[in-house]
């Protein structure tokens, strides 16, 4: 799809998602996919067929049922590996989500590698899950620095360079902002980080669901992904890491599955990726994630990216005709992903989202777990409409009608 193309009146993918045909939801306008996406029938049936037909624990039994579960579980790992072009399945660790991935990374580095005076450089546009785990290392004397933004909500590279120092051991940046939709030039940021001798970590929670992401092209050392934002169930995500690095990193959760040998005198760790997967994994979630990868790849990530962008272009065009709407983030749809944060002049974001909700339009308002960004915007909150492949022009039009309704209520 070309950029200037307008999205179809109704999404051709909507019927793949049973939620939109479940009683009462036929007219649901779901614009909260940045919080969590809906799930296609193929994912729901992959999960239920595991639970109904071959539920058993993985890697533990040698009976056929357990073998089948293990095969499906490991097939999902391979699907995800191929999806992000990781070098080997050892580099794909199943975790609960992006938050857990970032906490495992910060804990492991904090406990075993970072020293007093070391610095972590992140940005003002991060989700709290890429801020707080780093701040939690303050007991060790690790400092967190924040690169600022320019007036359009892009990363200010001059400020980034100023904050980067010989003490910057870690650069951890989101690929896509969950509030501004800004797509960061992470290849360039990664190159700068590596030239500085820093580890480069990418929070890809908002990018992997919406665009092709190739970890070898980005050359990130570690990356965090949430499955539930990319059509998979909640409670499953991926910590990607270069094998050589994960091999050197220490696990932070101990227990079953992650050991090679346990003796009274001490234990040794299992090989990758199991070293980081203590306890019984979310097997059904991982199988659902594999089905989600199949679904998204069946359509094609380039196509999904272009489709999202056509929705955002159309929505930005409609919104900019409205004199009372202030949009945050880059103006050029080429520089942003599939979401728009906005405020309606003189109306609090919560009032906007509440009335939109009553009109059948699901959006989200508040600080979106990005309070430093809200301070930068000098706004207590914004309303966010976030799009995905099951949205069409009809959903944007419904949003605009509902915004008119808010305006009337607060006239
Ligand atoms: N990083 C970014 C950029 C995010 O947008 C989110 C979740 C996370 C990390 C954490 O992901 P989790 O799956 O571990 O919770 N963002 C949002 C949001 O924008 N609204 O609800 C959750």
Q: Whose CA is nearest to atom 17 of ligand 1?
A: 35
The predicted structure's pLDDT at residue 1:
43
Q: Does 203 sit in the ligand 1 pocket, CB within 6 Å?
A: yes
Q: How would residue 154 be classed by pLDDT, with cut points 50, 70 and 90?
A: very high
Mean pLDDT, to the nearest integer, of 87-98? 98
Question: What is the spatial distance between Cα 274 and Cα 394, in angstroms, rounded to a whole number?
Answer: 45
Write out the two tokens for 172: 């951890």
- Ligand 1: centre distance to CA 378 (Å): 21
Say if residue 290's pLDDT is above 50: yes
DSSP letters, 302-350, are HHHHHHHHHHHHHHHHHHHTSTTEEEES-SSGGGB-SEEEEEETTS-HH
- Ligand 1: centre distance to CA 131 (Å): 12
Ligand 1 pocket mutation, candidates 94, 127, 387, criterion most atoms within 8 A of CB: 127
Which atom of ligand 1 lies at the shortest distance from residue 178's CA?
A: 5
Q: Does 368 sit in the ligand 1 pocket, CB within 6 Å?
A: yes
The predicted structure's pLDDT at residue 316:
95
Question: What is the spatial distance between Cα 325 and Cα 403, in angstroms, rounded to a whole number?
Answer: 9
The predicted structure's pLDDT at residue 5:
80
Say if residue 296's pLDDT is above 70: yes
Which atom of ligand 1 lies at the shortest distance from residue 384's CA?
A: 19
The predicted structure's pLDDT at residue 58:
94
Q: What is the pLDDT of residues 127-142, one digit of tens each?
A: 999 999 999 999 999 9
Write out the two tokens for 257: 């599955």
Q: What is the pLDDT of residues 261-286, one digit of tens each?
A: 999 999 999 999 999 999 999 999 99
Say if residue 60's pLDDT is above 80: no
CB atoms within 10 A of CB 17: 24
Q: Does 178 sit in the ligand 1 pocket, CB within 6 Å?
A: yes
- Ligand 1: centre distance to CA 142 (Å): 24
> Hey, which residues does 168 pair with through a beta bridge?
119
Choosing from 296, 369, 373, 403, which is the catalytic residue?
Answer: 369
Q: Where are the domains of the chain?
A: 14-40+300-409, 44-297
Ligand 1 pocket mutation, candidates 226, 234, 364, criterion most atoms within 8 A of CB: 226
- Ligand 1: centre distance to CA 13 (Å): 24
Q: Could you tell me the pTM of the whole model? A: 0.97
Q: Does 98 sit in the ligand 1 pocket, CB within 6 Å?
A: yes
Ligand 1 pocket mutation, candidates 129, 211, 292, criterion most atoms within 8 A of CB: 129
Q: Whose CA is nearest to atom 16 of ligand 1?
A: 35
- Ligand 1: centre distance to CA 267 (Å): 35
35: buried, middle or exposed (CB in 10 Å: 19+, 13-18, 0-12)? middle
Between 90-99, 195-204, 213-222, 325-334, the lowest mean confidence (pLDDT) is in 325-334
Q: Does 386 sit in the ligand 1 pocket, CB within 6 Å?
A: no
Q: Does 206 sit in the ligand 1 pocket, CB within 6 Å?
A: yes
For 262, left (φ over 0), alpha (ψ -120 to 50), or beta?
Answer: beta
Core vs surface per residue 263-278: b (16+ CB within 10 A) or e: eeeeeebbebbbbbbb
Q: Does 365 sit in the ligand 1 pocket, CB within 6 Å?
A: no
Q: Does 97 sit in the ligand 1 pocket, CB within 6 Å?
A: yes
Backbone torsions φ then ψ of 103, nearest 5 degrees: -70, -40
Q: Does 96 sit in the ligand 1 pocket, CB within 6 Å?
A: no
Q: Whose CA is nearest to atom 11 of ligand 1?
A: 98
Q: Does 34 sit in the ligand 1 pocket, CB within 6 Å?
A: yes
> Hey, which residues does 223 pair with through a beta bridge?
202, 240
Mean pLDDT, to the nearest integer, of 134-160? 97
Q: Which residues contact 233 (CB under 8 A, 6 or more apart)?
A: 39, 43, 47, 227, 284, 285, 288, 289
Q: What is the pLDDT of residues 225-261, one digit of tens each?
A: 999 999 999 999 999 999 999 999 999 999 999 999 9
Which atom of ligand 1 lies at the shortest distance from residue 229's CA?
A: 13
Q: Does 127 sit in the ligand 1 pocket, CB within 6 Å?
A: yes
- Ligand 1: centre distance to CA 226 (Å): 8
Work out the mean pLDDT of the chain and round it to a whole number. Answer: 96
Q: How would residue 59 be classed by pLDDT, with cut points 50, 70 and 90?
A: confident
Q: What is the pLDDT of residues 2-20, one digit of tens each?
A: 444 899 999 999 999 999 9
Angle between helices 41-49 and 283-299 (to 10 degrees): 150
- Three-state SS for 394? helix
Query: Is 231 part of the annotated catalytic residue set?
Result: no
Give the domain 44-297 fold.
3.40.640
Backbone torsions φ then ψ of 117, nearest 5 degrees: 95, -15
The predicted structure's pLDDT at residue 2:
44
The predicted structure's pLDDT at residue 364:
95
**Could you confirm whether domain 14-40+300-409 is CATH 3.90.1150.10?**
yes
């Amino acid at each position: 799809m070309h950029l200037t193309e307008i999205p179809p009146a109704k999404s051709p993918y909507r019927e793949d998602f049973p939620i939109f045909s479940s009683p009462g939801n036929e007219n649901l306008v779901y614009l909260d996919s940045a919080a969590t996406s809906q799930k296609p029938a193929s994912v729901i049936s992959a999960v239920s067929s595991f639970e109904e037909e071959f539920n058993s624990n993985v890697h533990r039994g040698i009976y056929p049922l357990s073998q089948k579960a293990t095969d499906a579980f490991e097939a999902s790992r391979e699907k995800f590996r191929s999806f992000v072009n990781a070098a080997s399945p050892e580099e794909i660790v199943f975790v609960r989500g992006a938050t857990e991935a970032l906490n495992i990374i910060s804990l492991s580095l904090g406990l075993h590698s970072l020293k007093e005076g070391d610095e972590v450089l992140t940005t003002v546009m991060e989700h709290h899950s890429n801020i707080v785990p780093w701040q939690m290392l303050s007991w060790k004397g690790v400092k967190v620095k924040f690169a600022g933004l320019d007036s359009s909500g892009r990363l200010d590279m001059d400020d980034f360079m100023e904050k980067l120092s010989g003490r910057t051991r870690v650069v951890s940046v989101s690929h896509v902002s969950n509030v501004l939709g800004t797509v960061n030039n992470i290849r360039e940021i990664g190159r700068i980080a590596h030239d500085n001798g820093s580890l480069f970590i990418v929070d890809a929670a908002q990018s992997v669901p919406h665009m092709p992401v190739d970890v070898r092209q980005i050359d990130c050392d570690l990356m965090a992904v949430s499955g539930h934002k990319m059509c998979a169930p909640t409670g499953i995500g991926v910590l990607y890491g270069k094998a050589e690095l994960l091999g050197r990193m220490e696990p932070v959760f101990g227990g079953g599955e992650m050991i090679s040998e346990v003796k009274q005198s001490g234990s040794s760790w299992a090989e990758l990726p199991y070293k980081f997967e203590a306890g019984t994994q979310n097997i059904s979630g991982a199988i659902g994630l594999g089905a989600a990868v199949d679904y998204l790849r069946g359509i094609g990530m380039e196509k999904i990216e272009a489709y999202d962008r056509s929705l955002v272009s159309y929505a930005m065009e409609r919104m900019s005709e409205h004199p009372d709407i202030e949009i945050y983030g880059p103006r050029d749809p080429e520089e942003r992903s599939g979401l728009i944060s906005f405020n309606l002049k003189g109306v609090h974001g919560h009032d906007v989202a509440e009335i939109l909700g009553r009109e059948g339009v699901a959006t989200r308002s508040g600080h979106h777990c990005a309070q430093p960004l809200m301070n930068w915007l000098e706004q207590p909150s914004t309303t966010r409409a976030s799009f995905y492949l099951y949205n069409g022009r009809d959903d944007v039009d419904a949003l605009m009608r509902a915004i008119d309704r808010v305006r009337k209520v607060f006239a």
